[in-house]
A and B are shown apart, each in its own frame.
Chain A
Amino acid sequence: MSSKVALTGNEALAQAMRQINPDVVAAYPITPQTAMVQTFSQFVADGEVDTEYVTVESEHSAMSATVGASAAGARAMTATAANGLALMWEVLYIASGTRLPIVMPVVNRALSGPINIHCDHSDAMGARDSGWIQLYAENAQEAYDNAIQALRISEHKDVMLPTMVNLDGFITSHAVESLEILADSDVKEFIGEYKAEHHLLDSKNPIAVGPLDLQDFYFEHKMQQSIAMENSKEVILEVAKEYKELSGREYEFFEEYKLDDAEIGIVALNSTAGTAKGAVDNLREQGVKAGLLKIRVYRPFPGEEIAEVLKSLKAVAVLDRAESFSTNGGPVFGDIRSILYNIKADVEVVNYIYGLGGRDIKVGEIESVYRDLEEIIDSGNVKNRVSHLGVRE
């Protein structure tokens, strides 16, 4: 039996971690993730989980110890945000390259400097090429559901890759929402027991993890990693299907919101998708054929599937909550425009970088983006390929 509860995003994720009951959690506190690991520590202190909680002295050690635990055959988790994720950078690649099925909530926050503790996606976007699967969530419910599914995705034998479960700092992590959490026993059954095929604590079959891999093998191992990422696409959908049977909630690579007959559309990730839905509803009332594509799975990038949906639109705006400083737009924009080029789609694509450092984005601002798209269609001209939305001049 699932139950309806009122929780913050952080509390929801702590509940997910409690239900997952990992063998090891090695984590370091950082705003806005702190409440998650604090709540989880209490579960440990109260004996509600079997977890060994390693109170590491940094995020670098958090990821390092998680790698050690996972290589030892344990189900191992950590959680972080912003600079914490940046400090893990080196070891993120080692975790994925070593093919360890670690699951890590990332409470998205702006990277320093200047220091800022509020939401944007500069942390996760910087790690998009680290070989981790990346899931994004509009709200606490989705973040919770993604965390449970992430275990199954990561641990699938054809995948064996780590997953980041992203949620927006403060907006999702600190706001109290009404959501449904599954029964403990249902989660336990859904994720099953983790049995590593090879691990360090098998004295009869000792293994070497992380050896020196030179010109004669490294490339093949990277190729296997690439194939695993490709494999994860099918697994993500299979797991979602099974999860729907359990929870009644449906997940795919992305959500299409009023896109069927849309002429103009926005692509967004995380909580902004909720705000954009408000804008779409308002415009629909005025007869504007507006729609939204909300990306849930950003790594692997479901390029063909997204292109298939967007190709029937006339103009698309990609909202990026991160600067890439390429002077050619944000990271999601680059990916979307590239896939549409592949199929020679006749769609204008523009980019809006917004919300850096927690700058609010309002329904009216998103409506103005749709108005810009209408103007592009009417005039046949793109005035600004890349704009910064909501910033003072």
Chain B
Amino acid sequence: MKLKEAAKTKERLTGGHRLCSGCGAGTATNLIMRASKNPAVVGCATGCLEVSTTIYPFTAWEDSFIHNAFENVAATISGVEAAYRSLVKQGKMDEEFDFIAFGGDGGTYDIGFQSLSGAMERGHNMVYICYDNGAYMNTGIQRSSATPKGANTTTSPAGKVIPGKQQYKKELTDIMVAHNIPYVAQASLFKPQDLLRKAQKAFETKGPAFINVIATCPRGWRSRAEKGIELTKVAADTCAWPLFEVEEGKWKLNYKPKKKKPIEEWLRQQGRFKHLFKKGNEHLIEEIQEHTDQRWEYLLEMCEKD
């Protein structure tokens, strides 16, 4: 489906939801839902997307929606999908459905990790979307295992002794690949056609599919709301958030920057990395650059191999 056609489809996450301006989660969700051809059951882990879209007695979702708790959206959708299979088997239902779980990075990389792993391993026919904004933004910007190294968050503050988060982010997309599920992808908002294609592919996949989308959070990144999408391009051009997909075990790179930009360009536009530019912290940026390079080389190797 072309973007133009997608724009003409019925909006399934409607306006009136209460996500912040410049938030990437709403944009990504809206686009992903347009790729679904069937009625859907949408599950949401506790988080920004959930609290902003279903405040009783209102809902921004045109489809059936379920929120259970923070760490169990994958298990919850497993149950919905199992119910569907049972009813189809018994001849009580014949309509096609899409089953979608949305979680932020906290609900996916951290607290919902076990539930996600279990659901993927069991092979439920579901699409799991992680909107990764790199911290627990809903509760006020606490670090998660998706928070990039050096970021200043409220639980990894840049202090006099410790300069922000000490660890590199967990490569969750790779861990999903290791589950040997049919389709895994990493996507970004600045390439909406690519995101749309990946979502479509995920919905068409028989069995579990996982997409990790980078989602700008102006509050948490300390960035300008109007830069929401532009920043995700910087993330790809600096290789901080590469775009790739792994279909039936085959790795494919989806975006290669014409000229790979230094990581500084990504860091400099966000207040959460401000302290890294203080005198004496040069080595931190060098370390982050080195790590980013290694990760990029690894991805190139995996993709060239296939």
Contact = CB atoms under 8 A, between A and B. Distances in A.
Interface of A: 23-24, 26, 50-52, 54-58, 60-61, 64-74, 76, 90-91, 94, 200-203, 206-214, 217
Interface in B12-61: 39, 41, 43, 50-51, 54-59, 61
A58 B72 CA distance: 11
Interface of B: 39, 41, 43, 50-51, 54-59, 61-69, 71-72, 75-87, 89-90, 93, 95, 97, 114-115, 117-119, 121-122
Given A72-B41, A212-B56, A213-B56, A65 B64 contact: no
Nearest to B50: A212
A123 B146 CA distance: 36
Contacts of B67: 209-212
B95 A61 contact: no
A90 B83 CA distance: 22
Contacts of A58: 114-115, 118
8 closest cross-chain pairs (CB), A and B: A68-B79, A65-B79, A57-B118, A74-B83, A203-B39, A64-B72, A61-B75, A72-B83
Given A24-B82, A56-B75, A206 B69 contact: no
Contacts of B39: 203, 206
A208 B67 CA distance: 8
A346 B73 CA distance: 53
21 contacts: A24-B86, A26-B78, A51-B86, A55-B122, A57-B115, A57-B121, A58-B115, A60-B115, A61-B78, A61-B114, A61-B119, A64-B72, A69-B82, A94-B69, A201-B83, A201-B95, A210-B67, A211-B54, A211-B55, A211-B67, A214-B55
Nearest to B41: A200
A208 B75 contact: no
Given A61-B118, A68-B43, A202-B64, A217 B57 contact: yes
Nearest to A98: B68
B69 A64 contact: yes
B63 A52 contact: no
Given A23-B90, A203-B97, A206-B62, A65 B78 contact: yes
A196 to B, nearest CB: 10
Given A72-B84, A91-B72, A212 B118 contact: no
A91 B69 contact: yes
Nearest to B92: A23
A65 B51 contact: no
A167 to B, nearest CB: 25
Contacts of A74: 82-83, 86-87
Contacts of B64: 200-203, 206-209
Contacts of A73: 83, 87
A211 B121 contact: no
B79 A94 contact: no
Contacts of B122: 54-56
B75 A200 contact: no
B80 to A, nearest CB: 4
B234 to A, nearest CB: 33
A212 B55 CA distance: 5
Nearest to A206: B64
User: A65, A69, A203: which has the most chain B beta carbons within 10 Å?
Assistant: A65
Given A54-B82, A57-B121, A68-B43, A214 B66 contact: no
Given A201-B87, A209-B66, A67 B76 contact: yes
B59 A208 contact: yes
A76 B83 contact: yes
A43 B281 CA distance: 64
B82 A212 contact: no
A324 to B, nearest CB: 26
Contact of B79 (A76, A90, A208): A76
A23 B72 CA distance: 21
B89 A52 contact: yes
